[in-house]
Structure 1
Amino acid sequence: MSDNNPARHLSDAAEGIRAFNHTSRSAARDWEFPSHAYSAVGNLSYLAGMLEQAVQQSTRPVMHTYEHGRVLIDNGGDADAKVAELVAAQRDAEVAAAALTAAVQRMHNAVSPMGLDTTGIPEFEDDEDDE
């Protein structure tokens, strides 16, 4: 897939999500406090917010080809029926993407005021003395 192929970016995004899923499985120094979740959920909210447009634009090659009467379906299938199925599924995906966006934005709003109570944690005691 060439760098100019838009599908390449979706492949890269999927790989980024796979990497996140892998590295976020356990707590680590950079993955243990509410501020870390706030950052991650913020990025996830941004990503989810772009899914509806990506869903819309992902079918453009099919629609372009269909509008020119050039869609061919394996085994002599009905192009009109398959494109109608695609369009209906696309609408469902757009609705789901909008719902996902709203839910993840609520997650981001919920985690926003959260912080770490450092009382009694030795590595944070020096910071408390500075106040």
Structure 2
Amino acid sequence: MPTPQEHLSEAAKLIRSFNDVSRTITTGWQHPDDAHAALGSLTAIAQMLPRAIEQSVRPITHAHSNGQLLTSEGSPSESVRALRAFLDEAIQHAADLTKIVAALHIETNDLKSPPAQAGADSGR
């Protein structure tokens, strides 16, 4: 069974692949509906980010609560306090990103290509 890190690594690879293939307008990636669908998927990804960010630091907080966390500078408790502050900020920014991407998705809802002429691409 893949580890949590392996799942995140795979997710990053898939988003990198999307970035590569979506650079060029081509079949399957040429209509407003294509963008709308992509923004729907990005909204779903963004909605999952706060929880993923929070869960990504659980091994650290678990080790700290069990007295098993060491640091080369300062105390582990100071480091965990700083980590939690950054974590709270990251979660808030992820929530803000979700709202903005969802707004993009909604804004594209009524955008369509003109009807196709006979013998042309479907135009969706």
| Structure of larger gyration radius | 1
Q: What is the correspondence of 1:67-82 to structure 2 with a 5 Å cutoff? A: 67-74=65-72, 76-82=73-79
- 1:76-131 residue CA offsets vs partner (Å, 9 max, x unmatched): 53211111111000000000010000001101100111111136575158x9xxxx
Superposition RMSD in Å = 1.9
Aligned length: 123
State the shift of 1:9 in Å.
1.0
Structure having the larger proportion of residues in helix = 1
Q: Which runs of 4+ in 1 moved over 4 A?
A: 119-122
Query: 1:18 aligns to what?
Result: 16
Percent identical: 33
In structure 2, give the amino acid aligned to 1:96: H
Judge conservation of contact 1:38–1:112 (CA < 8 Å) in 2: yes
For the pair 1:48 / 2:51, whether they are aligned, the reply is: no
TM-score (norm 2): 0.91
TM-score (normalizing by structure 1): 0.86
Matched, 1:110 2:86: no
Give the secondary-structure state (helix, strand or coil) at the position aligned to 2:82: helix
Give the corresponding residue for 1:89. Answer: 86
Name the counterpart of 1:62. 60
Whether the 8 Å CA contact 1:118–1:124 is kept in 2: the answer is: no
Rounded Cα–Cα distance in structure 2 between residues aligned with 1:122 and 1:77: 71
Give ranges in structure 1 of 5+ residues lacking alignment. none
Say which SS state the counterpart of residue 123 (structure 1) adopts.
coil
